[in-house]
């Protein structure tokens, strides 16, 4: 995982702990020691994927858009990083050749099963489990 994904998980966990209302990014940045500008970039991606919502005005900020118990690690990772896999070629379905190679990939067949298991674990792990 990239640092951005790590911070997105922290941001969502922080928002999940809030009882009600919106939390400003400045408050979140201060409480988590994450750069305000970096949080803005992360918040934009999370908002575009509808994991969080924005509130305007003096008491505005961000809050979860869906319950934390419905947000999986897989959703967060794919929001920030796009489709992910233990090997890049596993993100591409129905292909047995690696990019730039005419040979069949000996790893893809063996690691596809492992990649699915990891994906299932990430999908079953919810924000409330962390």
Reported as a single tens digit per residue, the pLDDT across 44-98 is: 999 999 999 999 888 889 999 999 999 999 999 999 998 878 777 777 655 555 5
Give the separation between CA 110 and CA 118, rounded to whole angstroms. Answer: 14
pTM attached to this predicted model: 0.85
57 with 79, same domain: the answer is no
Give the separation between CA 90 and CA 107, rounded to whole angstroms. Answer: 10
Query: The CATH number of the domain where 35 resides is what?
Result: 1.10.10.10
Written as six digits, the tokens of 20 are 């009600």
Residue 101: the pLDDT is 54
Calculate the alpha carbon distances from 72 to 56, 111, 126 in Å.
Answer: 27, 22, 4
8 with 58, same domain: the answer is yes
Q: Provide the domain count of the chain.
A: 2
Residue 89: the pLDDT is 72
């Amino acid at each position: 995982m990239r640092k951005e994904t790590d911070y997105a998980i922290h941001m969502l966990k922080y928002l999940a702990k809030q009882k009600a209302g919106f939390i400003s990014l400045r408050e979140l940045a201060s409480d988590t020691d994450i750069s305000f500008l970096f949080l803005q970039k992360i918040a934009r991606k999370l908002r575009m994927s509808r994991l969080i919502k924005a509130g305007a005005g003096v008491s505005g900020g961000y809050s979860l858009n869906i319950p934390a118990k419905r947000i999986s690690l897989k959703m967060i990772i794919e929001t920030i990083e796009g489709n992910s896999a233990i090997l890049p070629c596993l993100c591409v379905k129905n292909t047995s050749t690696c990019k730039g190679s005419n040979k069949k990939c000996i790893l893809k067949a063996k690691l596809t099963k492992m990649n699915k298991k990891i994906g299932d674990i990430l999908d079953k792990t919810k924000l409330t489990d962390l």
